[in-house]
Amino acid sequence: MFFRELYAYRYLMREIVVKNIKIQYRNSVLGMFWTFLQPLLTTLVLVSLFSTLFGNATASMINYPIYVLTGRLLYEFYSQSTKRAMRSITGSASVLKKVKVPKYIYPLANIVSNFITFLISLLVLVGFIVFFLFVGDKPPVINWHILLMPVPLLILFLLCTGVGLILSTLSVFFKDVEYLYDVFCLLLFYGTPIFYAPSKLGDSKIRQMALQANPLYSIVEMFRDCVLRGRLLNPNHLLYALGFSLLMLLIGGLVFWRKQEKFILYI
């Protein structure tokens, strides 16, 4: 049922995905280059600030720039795609009020288009890896484990889809969800070991619990296992992140499906 409908509307899905990518870069001089430039520049800022400021680039840590870049790339995809999905229903009000379309297409297409630009931006990571294989004294460990890279990325995709469905539903009924979520994302950025090592959080029980409960942390760590440390995915992270993401997808799907008939009365 669901897949047949999705198949019937594959053209709309494709049009929206292409549109999102096109529009994002339409009015900028550098166009698609921003996909590379943005993570590159923000990583440079983070690295230059924190490698000296708080002494993060210590001996215990493997290649710090790649460590920061991987965390930043994944966090950026998570926050951008869920924020876009959140606004997708209210932003498409004029269409949804007039034409009968499956509403989930809108949040889903926003996640997909962000995922595509995210995949393109991974080229920066490739550049970093190649660069540090030859330069510097802490090269990343690259071996066959890099082939497992799609696993954390797919889990992240599921997580974003689930969270995006929940947020898009909530934002229809409550306008202030957007502001709350912005604050939440800020908290997530600092709460996830993106530019610091997890050990920096100290022994505080609460902080350690918050860290372990953070699915983005599990996903980022798995990703680093593949492309930086060259070792097998941590099974605890794998189970937790996958379970959490599937749960979010289930909740998101249910909430969205149960409430979608009411959207039109509020948008």
Tell me which residues touch other proteins (CB under 8 A).
8-9, 11-12, 14-16, 19, 22-23, 26, 94-101, 173-177, 180, 261, 264-266
**Min separation Cβ 104 and other proteins, Å:** 15
CB of 106 to other proteins, least distance (A): 11
Please report how close the Cβ of residue 12 comes to other proteins at its closest, in angstroms. Answer: 4
Identity of the residue, 11 or 134, whose beta carbon is nearer to other proteins in the bound complex: 11
Q: Which is nearer to other proteins, 59 or 99 (CB)?
A: 99
Least Å distance, CB 20 to other proteins, is: 10
Query: What span, in angstroms and rounded, lies between the C-alpha atoms of 57 and 239?
Result: 30
Q: Closest by alpha carbon to 159, among 85, 229, 228?
A: 85
Q: For 92, list phi and psi in degrees, rounded to 5.
A: -105, 20
Geometric angle at alpha carbon 76, from 251 and 212, rounded to 5°: 60
Question: Do the Cβ atoms of 37 and 30 come closer than 8 Å?
Answer: yes
Distance in angstroms (rounded) separating the CA atoms of residues 202 and 208: 8
What is the residue whose two structure tokens read 């937790």?
Answer: 240
Q: Which is nearer to other proteins, 53 or 265 (CB)?
A: 265
Query: Using an 8 Å Cβ cutoff, are 163 and 251 in contact?
Result: no
Nearer to other proteins, 29 or 59 (CB): 29
